[in-house]
């Protein structure tokens, strides 16, 4: 089992390397760095340099999450479209092993790129004479967990629908939408004279969907200050542990759902 996971993970990592996603990531990094560095170079002040560093780091981390989505979408949709999974599953390689390897390979690539962005941010801090703060590590780890969760989500979506539909679904039906709908129905309950049972049922449905759709920042209201100042109070490191538990739970859920639908597909 362990040898199969290792072999499949290495194969998928090679697949990612040969795809042009990593090249695209490098080009975007260079472009964003060039654009984001202009204010710091022109202003020549520590405040402007810190603001530029924060903006560049924030943009990179947002891109890392998007890249995580792309990894999940690519690894599943490409193998389903060219029907290569039929050959993989008849090696024999059980679907649970291959799917677990796909999750692992996507997570490893996200980890590699997150480490690269972190080192790049530290290098910019030293270059611009900005103190290297613990917030850089905190935000990088938080971003990595968010990228893993979103990658798992898109692996699941790509298993059941066309990639274009998966992207459209994720953009429209996000956690913010279901939270807004739940709050709207909850407020309507206080004013409704009829249909209370229906509204309560609707509220529970929207609450369930809100919990099912992964959030990129599960504890954003608690950690927002860290993203602004790069300072991490000692007790806030616990939120990384909570985020890890959330990512682990949501990834396990989408793994089981993806496996359920994958095993019912016909690869003839």
pLDDT tens per residue across span 100-122 = 999 999 999 999 999 999 998 99
Kindly state the tokens that stand for 82: 């060219």
Low-confidence ranges of the chain (pLDDT < 50): none
Q: Which residue in 162, 173, 201 sits closest to 185, CA to CA?
A: 201
Kindly state the tokens that stand for 26: 């490098």
What DSSP character marks residue 45?
S
- The confidence score (pLDDT) of residue 26 equals 66
- The confidence score (pLDDT) of residue 255 equals 95
The answer to whether 82 and 69 have CB atoms below 8 angstroms apart is no
- The confidence score (pLDDT) of residue 114 equals 94
The answer to whether 136 and 158 have CB atoms below 8 angstroms apart is no
Distance (Å) of CA 72 to CA 65, 67, 182? 11, 9, 29
- The confidence score (pLDDT) of residue 238 equals 92
Cα distance between residue 199 and residue 181, in whole Å: 11
* Residues in contact with 76: Cβ distance below 8 Å, sequence separation at least 6, in sequence order: 102, 154, 155, 158, 159, 258
- The confidence score (pLDDT) of residue 242 equals 92
pLDDT tens per residue across span 3-27 = 888 888 888 888 787 777 666 766 7
């Amino acid at each position: 089992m362990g040898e199969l996971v290792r072999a499949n993970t290495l194969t998928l990592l090679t697949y990612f390397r040969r795809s042009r996603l990593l090249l695209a990531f490098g080009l975007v990094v260079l472009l964003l760095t060039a654009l984001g560095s202009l204010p710091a170079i022109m202003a020549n002040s520590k405040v402007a340099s810190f603001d530029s560093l924060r903006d560049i780091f924030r943009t990179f981390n947002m891109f890392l999450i998007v890249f995580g989505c792309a990894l999940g979408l690519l690894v599943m949709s490409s193998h389903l479209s060219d029907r290569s999974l039929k050959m993989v599953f008849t090696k024999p390689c059980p679907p649970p092993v291959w799917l677990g390897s796909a999750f692992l390979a996507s997570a490893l690539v996200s980890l590699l790129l997150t480490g690269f962005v972190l080192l790049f941010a530290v290098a910019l801090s030293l270059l611009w004479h900005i103190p290297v703060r613990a917030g850089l590590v905190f935000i990088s780890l938080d971003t990595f967990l968010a990228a893993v969760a979103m990658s798992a989500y898109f692996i699941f979506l790509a298993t059941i629908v066309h990639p274009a539909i998966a992207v459209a679904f994720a953009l429209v039906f996000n956690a913010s939408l279901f939270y807004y709908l739940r709050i709207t129905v909850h407020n309507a309950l206080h004013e409704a004279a009829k249909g209370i049972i229906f509204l309560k049922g609707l509220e529970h449905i929207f609450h369930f969907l809100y919990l099912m759709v992964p959030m990129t920042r599960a504890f954003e209201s608690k950690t927002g200050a860290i993203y602004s100042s790069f300072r991490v109070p000692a007790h806030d490191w616990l939120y990384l542990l909570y985020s890890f538990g959330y990512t682990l739970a949501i990834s396990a859920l989408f793994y089981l759902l993806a496996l359920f639908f994958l095993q019912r597909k016909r690869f003839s």
